[in-house]
Amino acid sequence: MKYDVIIIGKGPAGLSAAIFTARAQLKTLVIGRTEKSQLIYAHDIYNYFGFPEGIKGKKLLELGAKQAKKWGAEIIEDEVVDIKKGFKVKTSDKEHEAKAIIIATGIPIQWAGIKGEKELLGKGVHTCPNCDGPMYKGKKLAVIGNGDYAAEDALELTNYTKDVTIISHGPKFTFNKKFEQELKKNKIKLKNARVKEFIADKFLKKITFEDGSEEAFDGAYLACGTAGATTFASKLGIELKEGLIKTDENGMTNVPGIFAAGNCMGACRQIAKNVGDGCNAGVSTVKFLKAKDIFMDYAK
């Protein structure tokens, strides 16, 4: 099938982009998996504009998809396995063509391989200090990870509590000098140990370690590795910055016709920012294709 634009990812960034491209009468295809959007793990969201009583991530995703479909976007549950210049987008069993692409693939959650982490996600185990940090005012928190990504999360958590420990869960800590100084200044504790299990009574209670010891914590943040890389980017020659997609202020990458939106571009990992990115990439795609003389009858 031929489309004007194919959007890869059906999280808040991809769906927001689709609302703009579909409303501008671009033939839009969105490809992604609902259960792979980080939003599906967000039980109650209290910091997104327009929902003073909060909203569940699952519900917000449903509403976003419904809105994009209403304006004519086609949405399929699938995975893109390859993109070729031109653009040809290959899924598990089909190939689609498009004049423009919006990459909105998010950052997959970096599981640490600790027993209990999946079951307790959102119940004492977290991935986003900005999102759940306010629940832990004055509480005792652990950050699992040994690099700058973990240091950044730990420093962010000091907005809510002074009791933060980074647990390496690896051979040694590898912070850059700037982070090392900031961690010291903020009295963040460092514990060099490998985690065995998160123990809970509905909500996280304690962490056990492979050396047989254990310690009580109110919450733990997973921050292993670095913030995701992008396979498509390397295949298409898209410039990356620290493992994330680099774009100009219009959301366009260095490859004309390929735009990006959401967590895969980095910066603030919040729904509001990602929805905004989707709007930016969607509008820029419309302008880009319009300059190429595609007929558009803007929705009223």
CA distance readout (Å), 54 to 44, 47, 138, 216 = 6, 8, 23, 30
Burial of 186 (0-12, 13-18, 19+ CB in 10 A): middle
105 is a contact residue toward ligand FAD (CB under 6 A): yes
CB of 137 to ligand FAD, least distance (A): 16
Tell me which stretch binds ligand FAD (CB under 6 A): 28-36, 145-153, 171-179, 203-211. Answer: 28-36
Q: State the nearest-atom distance from the C-beta of 261 to ligand FAD, in Å.
A: 7
- Interface with ligand FAD (CB under 6 A), residue from 33, 58, 140, 246: 33
- Is 128 or 204 the residue whose CB approaches ligand FAD more closely? 128
Among 55, 110, 122, 123, binds ligand FAD (CB under 6 A): 122
Residue 47 lies near ligand FAD (rule: CB under 6 A):
yes
Q: Does the footprint of ligand FAD cover residue 104 (CB under 6 A)?
A: yes
128 binds ligand FAD per the rule CB under 6 A: yes
- Interacting residue with ligand FAD among 124, 262, 276, 282 (CB under 6 A): 262
Cα–Cα distance, 77 to 79 (Å, whole number)? 7
Which residue, 62 or 79, has its beta carbon nearer to ligand FAD? 79
Residue 10 sits in the site that holds ligand FAD (CB under 6 A) = yes
Of 40-48, 177-185, 213-221, 222-230: span binding ligand FAD (CB under 6 A):
40-48
Residue closest to ligand FAD, measured at CB: 11
Q: Which parts of this chain interact with ligand FAD (CB under 6 A)?
A: 8-14, 31-33, 36-39, 41-42, 45, 47-48, 79-80, 104-106, 121-122, 126-128, 131, 262-263, 269-272, 274
